[in-house]
């Protein structure tokens, strides 16, 4: 089977390696060629194209059986987001209509849920997001879903894992702050669980079509998160700081507990990192091993 990962970054690389181990031929798209050698060493065929330029899709000259869209503008404001998830996703949608793969997985985000009162949120919540970037992403979900093939939308919570655990790093560097009274919930998922969930979606395509949250079992209040870190590392708690200003946060400020029940029920999916604890104990070991 030929798989194409559009946006072969942090999650895409981990996914590519899994798919190769399962015998798939994997091509990974990035805009820049900077990481081509690394991708090639992993066995992923690198392809450089910019999804915001429609003509660049001419570089996709082969049929792909599976397509995973895991693209992210990275840094940049609303404009960059609109370019990738508006214009770029329009181009991907048109290309998918011509290419007709057997399965399509779109990685979205739990930032599309606008809840602010610590409610549990499930996939059937139909409110349109408030925040601009979340609304752009939600519109991208709608757009991709218009193609004829079955589409699986996986809404990921905050991704952490090797080399990408921002709060952990801030805490270890003594730069973390507790926002307000620390009552806001964090929803997280380990990168490898997300990569595994995508792999499950591809390999169980007959069962899966629709929208699923991918997040670990335990949303945790910021205060409780730092208390746990402080206890296991024997380091002081971060200082308290002001509540964040929603206008400076790309994904706005929400406070919710995201449920992962549906994907587990339908697929019997098991998380290797059911809470932040398992993942961060590994990160702590990596941190201690650093020169």
Ligand X SMILES: NC(=O)c1ccc[n+]([C@@H]2O[C@H](COP(=O)([O-])OP(=O)(O)OC[C@H]3O[C@@H](n4cnc5c(N)ncnc54)[C@H](OP(=O)(O)O)[C@@H]3O)[C@@H](O)[C@H]2O)c1
Binding site for ligand X (CB under 6 A): 7-12, 29-32, 50-52, 70-74, 84, 88, 107, 109, 156, 158-159
Between CA 160 and CA 172 the distance in angstroms is 15
The SS3 assignment for 211 reads strand
Q: Which is nearer to ligand X, 142 or 181 (CB)?
A: 142
Q: Which is nearer to ligand X, 19 or 29 (CB)?
A: 29
Between CA 203 and CA 201 the distance in angstroms is 6
Minimum separation from the CB atom of position 5 to ligand X (A): 9
Q: Which is nearer to ligand X, 68 or 208 (CB)?
A: 68
Closest CB to ligand X: residue number: 9
State phi, psi for 268 to the nearest 5 degrees. Answer: 60, 30
Minimum separation from the CB atom of position 174 to ligand X (A): 23
What are the E-state strand segments in the chain? Answer: 2-6, 25-30, 45-48, 66-69, 103-109, 119-121, 151-156, 158-160, 177-179, 185-186, 188-190, 210-214, 220-221, 239-241, 256-258
Minimum separation from the CB atom of position 231 to ligand X (A): 25
SS (H, E, C) 215-274: CCCCCEEHHHHHHHHHHHHCCCCCEEECCCCHHHCCCCCCCEEECCHHHHHHHCCCCCCC
Locus of tokens 């559009």: 6
Q: How far is CA 19 from the centre of its chain?
A: 17
Q: Which is nearer to ligand X, 56 or 183 (CB)?
A: 56
Q: Which is nearer to ligand X, 7 or 182 (CB)?
A: 7
State phi, psi for 10 to the nearest 5 degrees. Answer: -55, -50
Minimum separation from the CB atom of position 87 to ligand X (A): 9
Minimum separation from the CB atom of position 31 to ligand X (A): 4
Q: Which is nearer to ligand X, 170 or 230 (CB)?
A: 170
Q: Which is nearer to ligand X, 10 or 185 (CB)?
A: 10
Between CA 11 and CA 262 the distance in angstroms is 22
Between CA 243 and CA 245 the distance in angstroms is 7
């Amino acid at each position: 089977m030929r798989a194409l990962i559009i946006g072969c970054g942090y999650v895409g690389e981990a996914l590519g390696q899994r798919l190769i181990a399962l015998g798939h031929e994997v091509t990974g798209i990035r805009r820049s060629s900077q990481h081509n050698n690394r991708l090639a060493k992993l066995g992923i065929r690198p392809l450089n194209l910019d999804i915001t330029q429609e003509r660049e899709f001419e570089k996709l000259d082969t049929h792909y059986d599976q397509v995973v869209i895991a693209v992210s503008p990275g840094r940049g404001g609303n404009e960059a987001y609109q370019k990738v998830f508006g214009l770029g996703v329009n181009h991907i949608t048109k290309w998918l209509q011509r290419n007709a793969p057997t399965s399509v997985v779109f990685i979205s985000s739990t930032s599309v849920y606008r809840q602010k009162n610590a409610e549990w949120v499930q996939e059937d919540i139909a409110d349109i997001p408030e925040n601009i970037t979340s609304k752009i992403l939600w519109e991208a979900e709608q757009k991709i879903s218009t193609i004829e093939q079955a589409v699986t939308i996986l809404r990921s919570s905050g991704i952490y894992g090797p080399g990408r655990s921002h709060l952990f790093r801030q805490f270890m560097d003594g730069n973390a702050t507790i926002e307000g009274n620390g009552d806001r919930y964090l929803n997280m998922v380990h990168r490898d669980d997300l990569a595994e969930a995508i792999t499950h979606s591809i390999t169980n395509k007959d069962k899966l079509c629709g929208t699923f949250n991918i997040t670990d079992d335990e949303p945790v209040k910021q205060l409780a998160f730092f208390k746990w870190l402080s206890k296991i590392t024997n380091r002081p708690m971060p200082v308290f700081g002001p509540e964040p200003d929603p206008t400076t946060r790309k994904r706005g400020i929400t406070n919710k507990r995201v449920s992962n029940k549906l994907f587990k029920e339908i697929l019997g999916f098991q998380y290797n990192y059911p809470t932040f604890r398992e993942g961060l104990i590994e990160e702590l070991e990596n941190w201690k091993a650093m020169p």
